[in-house]
A and B are shown apart, each in its own frame.
Chain A
Amino acid sequence: MPADGPVLDVAGLNAAYGEAKVLFGIDLCVAPRQIVACIGRNGAGKTTLLRCICGFVKPLSGVVRSHGSDLIGLAPYDVAKSGVKYVPQDKKVFYDLTVRENLELGSYASGDRNWEPALNYFPKLKVHMDRKAGYMSGGERQMLMIARALLGNPRLLLIDEPTEGLAPGIVSHLREVFTDIARKTSLVIVEQNLPLVCAIADVVYAIRDGRVAAMFSQRSEMSFQTFEKFL
């Protein structure tokens, strides 16, 4: 796989659920080690955008490339194997499996048995390794989902609403973790927590009605007040 080009290059992406068109010509670019945030109201198309990128929704037209390789048409498991992993919003770990088993599945496809880097982000998981994941709190489940996705050293993580419903302490921990992860892995985060977005994002895309309404890449442009009007 060629290593040149952006980690993610989305151009003119159109998508629909049946007759209902959701995305209208979305363009988005992610550079190596960059944190890109997508903000917007519920129903704006942010989740659909992530699901198109990782192959769960087949777009009507457009381009999705990672390091120059076309991702459109690949099965979701092939997209994941290519190094683009998705952490959905629902915080649904595999409830009947232990934390260890959840992680084993995370490293199954890649064969990556070195869990230490991922577990070092979330030391709490180490003490719950043999606990059924269904018994964990929402924050712990989110940690497990991110740790699971990190196995295999993906080059891009797509994370949907990671802080939704989490306690402030966990949110601030995730903020540090995302900054650390971005030293190796690019991140696209769909997020409504604007203070978090202002703190960690390198680029912010405001999505409105399935279109990119604005793009911010300068620190000076990024403020709660600026972003608030897109929510």
Chain B
Amino acid sequence: MSLDPRLVMSSVIFGLSIGGIYFLLAIGLSLCFGLMRIISLDQLLYYSIGAFVTYSVGVATGQFWLGVAAGAAAGGLASLAVERLIFRRIYARDPTFSMITSFGLLFGGIGIIKFVWGVVPRPVEVPTLAQFDVLGTQIPVYRLIIVGIAVVVYALIWAFLHRTIVGKAIRAAIENVEHVEGLGINVGRLFTLTFVIAGALSGLAGGVYAPLILVDPMMGLEMLAFVFMVVIIGGLGSIKGTAISALIIGQVVSLGSLIYAPAAQMAPFVIMLAILLIRPTGLFGVALTRR
């Protein structure tokens, strides 16, 4: 079987952009589990909220990027409210408790979205239709912008965690919450900050992905399995692992569709099972115990 190099190039770029979205969504989930030991499936709600706010602000102002910023802010604010009202009360519980709670939040939130925006899928205009030629293939510039945003977010998160004292405290708390508290640091504030960052990134993911899909209330659920796989493959709590895993899953979904379409949905699961058989903690994860 021979593949058209132009289709391959196009698929690789598509895979990179979808991988970028997976990364933006999964990094929050990964950090939340690494630090707070919670499985925060409600991140997918902030993703949907981000997309809808991007849509509404875009329609009202005609400014797509203003909409994306508002979507990220809305994701952050919604996650702040949820952390304060709900998660703060269940950090000490078993991770499965947080998973069930967050699943409930996700469905409850979908109901609210349906109430506010209705059930009809909404289109969001692509901010640029420009394309450029790579080896005879027309590549949409907007897909590369998504890749660029994911790269910038990775760099910013890395710099935050490695170059700021608050980021270092978060890394330390991922290792040992009690020791960080013993140094006089309020870990509860680190939890809140991490949760808000995760929510804002999920909102950002929804906003930037909105022009490439139809924004609808169930869009978060459609991402659930893929994002979960990215987090598991990368290793809970590892940003490097999450980035590499998002890259892999993005390419598997994209190139898989090109090579043999029926396998595209199944292939990421096969990859996940294979990696977990070899490394049960994921590519870069460490064994995390319950606190």
Find out whether the CB atom of B165 lies under 8 angstroms from the CB atom of A92: no
Find out whether the CB atom of A94 lies under 8 angstroms from the CB atom of B176: yes
Q: In chain B, residues 225-269, which have Cβ atoms closer than 8 Å to a Cβ of chain A?
A: none
Find out whether the CB atom of B179 lies under 8 angstroms from the CB atom of A108: no
Encoded as 1 (CB less than 8 Å from any A CB) or 0, chain B from 46 to 75 comes to 000000000000000000000000000000
Q: In chain A, residues 39-95, which have Cβ atoms closer than 8 Å to a Cβ of chain B?
A: 54, 56, 75-78, 80-81, 85-86, 88, 92, 94-95
Find out whether the CB atom of A77 lies under 8 angstroms from the CB atom of B176: no
Residue from the list B175, B179, B185 in contact with A109, Cβ < 8 A: B185
Interface size counted on chain A using CB atoms at 8 A: 27
Residue from the list B165, B168, B185 in contact with A77, Cβ < 8 A: B185
Find out whether the CB atom of A110 lies under 8 angstroms from the CB atom of B184: yes
B283 CB-CB contact with A under 8 Å = no
Residue from the list A77, A97, A101 in contact with B184, Cβ < 8 A: A77
Q: Shortest CB–CB separation between residue A14 and chain B, in angstroms?
A: 22
A27 CB-CB contact with B under 8 Å = no
Q: How far is the CA of A78 from the CA of B182 in the complex (A)?
A: 9
Q: In chain A, residues 132-156, which have Cβ atoms closer than 8 Å to a Cβ of chain B?
A: 148-149, 152
B187 CB-CB contact with A under 8 Å = yes
Q: How far is the CA of A86 from the CA of B185 in the complex (A)?
A: 13
Chain A residue numbers with a CB within 8 Å of B37 are none
Find out whether the CB atom of B184 lies under 8 angstroms from the CB atom of A109: yes
Find out whether the CB atom of A108 lies under 8 angstroms from the CB atom of B183: yes
Q: How far is the CA of A96 from the CA of B180 in the complex (A)?
A: 14
Q: How many A-B contacts at CB < 8 Å in the complex?
A: 69
Find out whether the CB atom of B175 lies under 8 angstroms from the CB atom of A105: no
Interface size class of B (residues with CB under 8 A): 10 to 19
Encoded as 1 (CB less than 8 Å from any A CB) or 0, chain B from 182 to 199 comes to 111111000000000000
Chain A residue numbers with a CB within 8 Å of B181 are 56, 75-77, 80
Find out whether the CB atom of B187 lies under 8 angstroms from the CB atom of A108: no
Residue from the list A85, A88, A105 in contact with B172, Cβ < 8 A: A105
Q: Report which residue of A77, A81, A86 has the largest number of chain B beta carbons within 10 angstroms of its beta carbon.
A: A77
Find out whether the CB atom of A97 lies under 8 angstroms from the CB atom of B168: yes
A-B contact pairs, 25 of them (CB 8 A): A56-B178, A56-B181, A56-B182, A75-B181, A77-B185, A77-B186, A78-B184, A80-B181, A88-B178, A94-B172, A94-B179, A95-B175, A96-B171, A97-B168, A97-B172, A102-B172, A105-B172, A105-B183, A108-B169, A108-B185, A109-B185, A110-B184, A149-B182, A149-B183, A152-B184
- With contacts A56-B178, A76-B181, A80-B183 known, what are 5 further pairs, Cβ within 8 A? A77-B185, A95-B175, A105-B165, A108-B165, A108-B185
> A-side interface residues toward B, CB under 8 Å?
54, 56, 75-78, 80-81, 85-86, 88, 92, 94-97, 101-102, 104-106, 108-110, 148-149, 152
> B-side interface residues toward A, CB under 8 Å?
165, 168-169, 171-172, 175-176, 178-187
